[in-house]
Amino acid sequence: MLPSENSSRYYRNPSVVDLRKVKTVSLTQIMGLLSFMFLAMAAGAFLVPPSYFMIAVILEFVLLFTIPVINRRALARGDDPATGLTGGLALVFAACAGAVLGPLVQSLAETSTGLAVLGQAALVTFIVFAGFGLYGVMTKRNLSSMAKVLFIGLLVLLGIMILSVFFSSFMSPFGLLIGIGGAILFSLMTALDFQRAKYATADNAVMVTLSIFLDFVNLFTFILDIFLIVGGGGRKR
């Protein structure tokens, strides 16, 4: 579920865009769609049986590439992507993301100790997510300069995680460092994408929201990993 680095084509800076030619959207509208995506994710995580895990993985992967295509087609017809098929598919994607986390979440929720770890990880994630998101919205610094560095960091992290699958005995001692590195990376991505959301237009609102949602999911995953490793549980990858 790592891919979340949005292309710079989804970023609009008011200093270089003629606002008379684009329809802007408010941050409230983006947060509204994001809230529904969080609800869909929670439903997928707690209600979808673990046996549907692989189906959810495949569907999530397909939607990750399908949603941008549907978004462009909606724009070509002059439709508002957020209120049409694109927005609906974003909710389905969120439910699939929850279903992918479902086996782990449901297994933790079966015990009081696991439920406490899950709650603590969720709380920390929301605090970090809100803090960096607020920074992204409030800062006057142009964070788009971080995009290339963060993308390279994402590729490095993805490479390390792939190596950890094939060389688990060698990489396992570095699990905590990987978790911390992933949490830092997606915290910074959260700030960057919230700044993009501040200047979002109707043509990229859904894509920016999707990117923010992926930031949250990955941030939660790495923070939960940290809690499990520190607690001695360790997450099976």
Quote the pLDDT of residue 75: 78
As a whole number, mean pLDDT of residues 204-233 equals 90
Using alpha carbons, list the distances in angstroms from residue 93 to 19, 82, 89, 130.
31, 14, 6, 22
As a whole number, mean pLDDT of residues 21-41 equals 84
Tokens coding 158: 């993805």
Quote the pLDDT of residue 232: 67
Tokens coding 52: 């549907």
- Choice between 98 and 232, residue whose per-residue pLDDT is larger: 98
C-alpha–C-alpha distance, residues 196 and 10, integer Å: 7
SS3 18: coil
pLDDT of 9 strictly over 80: no
As a whole number, mean pLDDT of residues 85-104 equals 94
CB burial class (10 A; 0-12, 13-18, 19+) of residue 236? exposed
Q: Across-strand partners of 201?
A: 24
pLDDT of 13 strictly over 80: no
Quote the pLDDT of residue 10: 41
Report whether 206 contacts 71 (CB < 8 A): yes
Quote the pLDDT of residue 236: 45
pLDDT in tens, 138-196: 999 999 889 999 999 999 988 888 877 776 665 567 788 889 999 999 999 999 999 99
**pLDDT grade, residue 18 (50/70/90)?**
very low
**pLDDT grade, residue 5 (50/70/90)?**
low
Q: If we measure between CA atoms, which residue out of 205, 192, 178, 221 comes closest to residue 1?
A: 221
pLDDT of 6 strictly over 80: no
Quote the pLDDT of residue 59: 96
Report whether 179 contacts 218 (CB < 8 A): no
For the chain, the domains span 8-230
